[in-house]
Amino acid sequence: MSEYAIGFEYISDTAAHTGRFNELVAFEDSVIASAVILNQTGNTFTNVPLKAGQCVEAVFTSVTLASGKIAAYKI
């Protein structure tokens, strides 16, 4: 967990979740269908697999899962 987190949002559905998140942590094998990331360059962040326990850090303003369960840490 990030030292800057102010809690987390548990995500286990395929709806878009909006807010400001700085870390996504998978509780089980998961797939991020799409995410909006501040100051992102390069390819779009879609269909990204995460293994259980794996995390990814960035400033996310929207996260949508295709499958799995994650914690999205709020900032």
Q: What is the pLDDT of residues 14-70, one digit of tens each?
A: 999 999 999 999 999 999 999 999 998 888 999 999 999 999 999 999 999 999 999
The Cα–Cα gap between 12 and 15 comes to 9
Q: Is the pLDDT confidence value at 4 over 70?
A: no
Q: Which long-range contacts (CB under 8 A, 24 or more apart) does 49-53 make?
A: 50/24, 50/26, 51/26, 52/26, 52/27, 52/28, 53/25, 53/26
Q: Is residue 43 part of a domain?
A: yes
Q: How many residues does the chain have?
A: 75
Nearest one of 73, 71, 70 to 29, comparing CA atoms: 70
Residue 65 covered by a domain: yes
| Residue-range definition of the domain harbouring residue 46 | 8-74
Q: Residue 3 falls within a domain, yes or no?
A: no
Report pLDDT for 17.
98
Q: Is residue 26 part of a domain?
A: yes
- Say if pTM beats, i.e. exceeds, 0.85: yes
